[in-house]
Amino acid sequence: MKPLPNAEDLLKVAPHVIWFEPPEQALADPIRFLAYLMTYGTPDEIAVVRRYLDLDDFREALEHAPPGIMDERSWAYWNTVCGRHPVPPRPQRIIPT
């Protein structure tokens, strides 16, 4: 996936979707950033990010999404938007026993 630049508009979106770390750090991991965006982003915030990334980037983020970020509704919606049918299971956390 192509990296996200530290553009002013993206730096304004980042704290809304990953509120617990600096915007530059949030943008440094585009797959993780997109997982949070697809879960918590508004349509306007998604439109800002779409200026930099295309639907293939969103598909890649779904394929490599970290477990525990996307809720069931967001997972189903974005997989449908990206043409992934049937919708695969969400990524699962593996807790060692």
CA distance 52 to 10: 9
pLDDT over threshold 90, residue 1: no
Q: What is the mean pLDDT of residues 14-26?
A: 98
What is the pTM assigned to this prediction? 0.94
Residue 25 is predicted with a pLDDT of 97
Residue 16's CB is within 10 A of a number of other CB atoms, namely 16
Domain boundaries, the chain: 8-81
CB 35, CB 65: distance < 8 Å = yes
Do residues 83 and 58 make contact, with C-beta atoms less than 8 angstroms apart?
Answer: no
- pLDDT digit string, tens, across residues 72-88: 999 999 999 999 999 99
Residue pLDDT, tens place only, 22-43: 999 999 999 999 999 999 999 9
Could you tell me which of 34, 70, 69 has the C-alpha nearest to residue 52? 34
